[in-house]
């Protein structure tokens, strides 16, 4: 491992050092490049522990309507993978929390794993989440990621067996990502009763930290799950703010929203 590799891995583990981080997700370049950048900076100001940047894909089959729409809009504005990397690099200059790229496998394959990994590292990315690349299909991508010091964050689902949770926990570098319910991304009203049981099951098996996401959209969700996860990902609820608020207000609203979540996580 090179010096910088070690630093990136540390960065990702460090976010759990003295807090339960709130990790906002925003689709790259949504709703415009400008608002996207401003919103992420606002979210970091508000206390976000790391940031997930969505790499838009034409067929986001793990996503609900809000993130689907955001991907479609971003693609219409030309936010393809090369552009995502450029935006990320720009952002890197202004914020100092770890950046994670989240998206589907095919665009990465077409760029080539090596080339993508190199460019992601150059852009200051710490790790990736690829929802349509479960552990069983990730051999090559994991090897390339390891060479470049990029973290792999795998998903754990409520349907995942105990044996598989252990496998995924080992495969994830830094941390794993628990999806709160079987389903696609999207804001939900209440925390499902099954989510607590699921997270308790993960707690008993996982050795690394794990965050929870999918459906986290209000401070009370975080309060309810506070002692059951090491961090909280908020995606659709934030993307909806960007969809519904006028461009001028969006970063402000996002700031207020993330701050309320960060407080709930304290």
Partner 1 sequence: MAKSRTKQSKTTGRTFLRRPSRAGRFGVYGGQYVPETLIPALEQLTTDFEMAWASPEFRAAYRSILSEYGGRPTPLYEAERLSERLQRGRIILKREDLNHTGSHKLNNVVGQVLLAVRSAKKRVIAETGAGQHGVATATIAAKFGLSCDVYMGSLDVERQAPNVQRMELLGARVIPVDSGARTLKDATNEAIRDWVTNVDSTFYVIGSVVGPHPYPYMVREFQRIIGDEAKKQFQKQIGQSPDSLVACVGGGSNAIGFFTAFMNDESIEMIGVEAGGCGLRSGQHAATLVAGRIGVLHGSASYLLQSATGQITVPHSVSAGLDYPGVGPEHAFLRDSGRVRYISVTDHEALDAFQLLAETEGILPALESAHAIAALKKLPRDQKNASIIGVCLSGRGDKDLATVVNALENTS
**Residue 76 to residue 92: CA distance in whole angstroms:** 24
Of the candidates 38, 52, 83, 169, the residue annotated as catalytic is 52
Question: How near is the Cβ of 184 to partner 1 at its closest, in Å?
Answer: 5
Q: What one-character-per-residue DSSP string does 170-202 give?
A: HHSSS-EEEESSSS-S---SS--HHHHHHHHHH
Give the binding site for partner 1 (CB under 8 A). 57-64, 68, 72, 75, 80-82, 104-111, 131-134, 136-137, 154-161, 164, 168, 179, 182-184
Name the nearest CA neighbour of 76 among 56, 52, 62: 56
CB of residue 23 vs partner 1: minimum separation in angstroms? 18
* Min dist. Cβ of residue 82 to partner 1 (A): 7
Supply the minimum distance, in Å, between the C-beta of residue 211 and partner 1: 14
DSSP state of 124: T
What is the enclosing helix (H) or strand (E) of 115? helix 113-122
Q: Which is nearer to partner 1, 164 or 170 (CB)?
A: 164
Using CB atoms within 10 A of its CB, is residue 126 exposed (0-12), middle (13-18) or buried (19+)?
Answer: buried
Identity of the residue, 3 or 161, whose beta carbon is nearer to partner 1 in the bound complex = 161
CA distance 178 to 257: 22
Q: Annotated catalytic, 63?
A: yes
Please name the residue that has the structure tokens 């759990």: 16
Please report how close the Cβ of residue 168 comes to partner 1 at its closest, in angstroms: 8
Positive or negative torsion for Cα 116, 119, 123, 126: positive
Instruction: Convert 27-45 into a string of H (helix), E (strand) and C (coil).
Output: ECCCCCHHHHHHHHHHHHH
- Smallest gap from Cβ 200 to partner 1, in A, equals 18
Nearer to partner 1, 107 or 219 (CB): 107
Nearer to partner 1, 179 or 264 (CB): 179
Per the annotation, the verdict on 52 as an active-site residue is yes
Residue (61 or 143) nearer to partner 1, CB:
61
Q: For residues 67 and 104, is the Cβ–Cβ distance under 8 A?
A: no
DSSP states along 12-77: HHHTTSSS--EEEEEETT-S-HHHHHHHHHHHHHTT-SSEEEEE--S--TT--HHHHHHHHHHHHT
Q: Which residues are catalytic?
A: 52, 63
């Amino acid at each position: 491992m090179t010096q910088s590799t070690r630093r990136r891995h540390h960065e990702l583990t460090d976010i759990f050092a003295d807090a339960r981080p709130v990790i906002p997700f925003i689709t790259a370049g949504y709703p415009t490049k400008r608002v996207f950048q401003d919103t992420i900076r606002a979210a970091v100001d508000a206390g976000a522990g790391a940031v997930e940047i969505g790499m838009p894909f034409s067929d986001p089959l793990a996503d609900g309507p809000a993130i689907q729409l955001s991907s479609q809009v971003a693609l219409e504005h030309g936010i393809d993978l090369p552009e995502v990397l450029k935006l990320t690099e720009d952002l890197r200059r202004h914020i100092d929390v770890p950046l994670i790229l989240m998206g589907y496998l095919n665009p990465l394959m077409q760029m080539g794993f090596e080339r993508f990994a190199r460019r992601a590292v150059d852009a200051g990315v710490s790790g990736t989440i690829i929802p349509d690349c479960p552990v069983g299909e990730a051999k090559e991508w994991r090897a390339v990621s390891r060479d470049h010091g990029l973290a792999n964050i795998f998903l754990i689902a409520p349907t995942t067996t105990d044996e598989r949770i252990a496998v995924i926990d080992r495969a994830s570098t830094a941390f794993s990502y628990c999806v709160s319910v079987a389903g696609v991304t999207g804001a939900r009203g209440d925390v499902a009763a099954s989510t607590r049981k699921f997270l308790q099951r993960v707690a008993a098996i996982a050795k690394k930290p794990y965050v929870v996401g999918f459906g986290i959209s209000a401070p009370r969700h975080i309060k309810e799950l506070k002692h059951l996860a090491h961090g909280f990902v908020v995606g659709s609820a934030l993307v909806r703010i960007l969809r519904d608020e006028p461009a001028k207000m969006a970063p402000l609203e996002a700031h207020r929203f993330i701050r309320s979540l960060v407080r709930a996580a304290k």
